[in-house]
Chains A and B, each alone.
Chain A
Amino acid sequence: MKTFKVQTISRIKRYIPLYFMLLPGAAYLIINNYIPMAGIIVAFKKYNYQKGIFGSEFIGLDNFKFLFQTQEAWIITRNTILYNLAFMVIGTTFAVAVAIILNELNGKTMKKVYQTSILVPFLISIVVVSYLVYGFLSSNTGFINKSILEPLGVEGISWYSTPRYWPFILILVSLWKGFGYTSIMYYATLVGIDHSYYEAAMIDGANRWKSIWHITLPSLRPTITILTLMSIGKIFYSDFGLFYQVPMNSGPLINVTNTIDTYVYRGLMEIHNIGMSSAAGFYQSIVGFILILAANFIVRKLDSDSALF
């Protein structure tokens, strides 16, 4: 008994330096991640600046009642989910297609050039992207109004106050910014395919389409599954910059650009309605968490190797 204890202590002692290495990271995670997790209970309180999150008065579900009575609760949920679904379907199809093209291409140098170019949009901050968009869409000096519509004799469109174009614009911008990254990710999977598969298929008389269908696509399946799973888990989250900065926080566009993230931000910083804002944040955290667990559960049933955890 005694020797056992001594052994355990000396064993633990040996690891003390390693625990010290963990310390800064662990402290940071507690502060940056775990305390705010506990802080989501602010959604059940009538927030008071003097008393702070934990001292404020408890008011039950009032904040949620107010939030879900508004039209906005429905609009932000709809927008967040529909945009994410569109990004997921269009983005994945596009990226897989580009990855396959890259895989089929001859010519090492050109391939490098293409890869380099399609990654550029990913490197740029969304704030710069909003200027690129503004360069095309500004109503007085934008390229589309001035150099395309005007010469055609069509009257310029006031883009930043016409909501019906924005679903397309936002999907296009998101695609432009992200497809290079995902394409390279899929392409990296394809580079790993053993070439003898293709040679064997050719000997058996398979044409290009058949090899793509039977060899290339199936080998992408695990990557597609895991990336889709991750996007489903994030379907309640949106890129704040894309929906806030790119439409220039324009009032007339709000019904097609408001997502849960922009709603929470505006509630907290612009309208100072902390009750509604924290209720929406709570709703996002909890539903998002349930979705990621559910998505992972389903994938584990279908194909346990592709599951996240």
Chain B
Amino acid sequence: MADSEARRVIEMGYGGNERLVMNMGPQHPSAHGVFRAILTLEGETVVAVDAVIGYLHRCHEKLGELLTYVQYPTIASKTDYVAAMTAELAYVSAVEKVAKFEVPKRAQYLRVLAAELQRIASHCLWLGTWCLDMGGALGGGATVFLYCIRERELVLDLFESLTGARLLYGFHQPGGTRYDVPAGWAQKCRETVDLIEQRVDEYEAMLEDNTFFLVRTQGVGVISRELALEVGLSGPLARGSGIDFDLRRAAPYSSYEDFDFKVPVETAGDCYARYRVRMQEFRESIKIVRQVLDGLPEGPISSRPGVKSVGQVRAPKGEAYSRVEGARGEIGFFIVADGGPKAYRMKVRGPSFSNLAVLPHIIPGCKVADVVAIMGSVDPVFGEVDR
């Protein structure tokens, strides 16, 4: 599409010509990292938005060609640093697919455990930062943020005792997981999810009985089902627009078919619907965590020996695409292997990148304050957008 044509599509027909071009980002309190939105304003109303990304480009895909299959999982976790476990999982499952490695049942369960705890942690951060965007660092938003961070810390503590790291884990390795659960961990995990379940009720009580929160989110940033399909949304955004699609159920990986959980779907397509979807996902994830802990099978945690040298995993010539349902949507890794210890080519499908593409379609016509509410509800992580 030509530039002028694109502009015509996203500009709406407003009268008057007193326009103000305002730069929101890349350094801005609610840029969620380094997003730059060039807003054209008429008074308080946004009539056009130009989204600029790429400030956090770190050559992740090139690194995928330079580092070996053993080394790269720790880099994969840096794409989506808020939910590192699922990004790692997507990468190692692509490697396993191309190298045709078996994954023991126990490792599969541990991966599900890590992924669901990660989803809880990621949604905690999302809720906090989103409320921070709407409520301000010096207001009720900060209160919600600090509550959410308090709960995220509990999950990070669990990860710390599991892997020794709190943000970027290196938990997965091709063929299984690197660490098994330590003694007493399962009990601690149960207590943590019980507590978080109570706290989620508290968040809902605080937000959903709050008229100010409702007027800021209901009917704001509506994404229609058609638009969601056209742009290629995934994850809670798509499910908030009435698309009943979740990879964990549609194409189960890592033994997800063993667990009983619901896929929450809302049809309104506004910020509030996306909020509702994520709040229900909290509960579903907690349900899955409990099931994993109940049914954790005995056995080895990896079909491959532990990491001794960086080149010890080799994949035969071939290619594979593997996808998992991350906290933000479909995370995909495409790997072309040439027989050596490194990928010949690697491509990442980051859900935040595709989800962000919806912004120019829904922002024009909104007020400035809605821009941050909508952006927060999209929940982008710029490590994953720019890679």
Q: Report if A and B associate in a common complex.
A: no
Residues of B that sit less than 8 Å from A by CB: none
Residues of A that sit less than 8 Å from B by CB: none
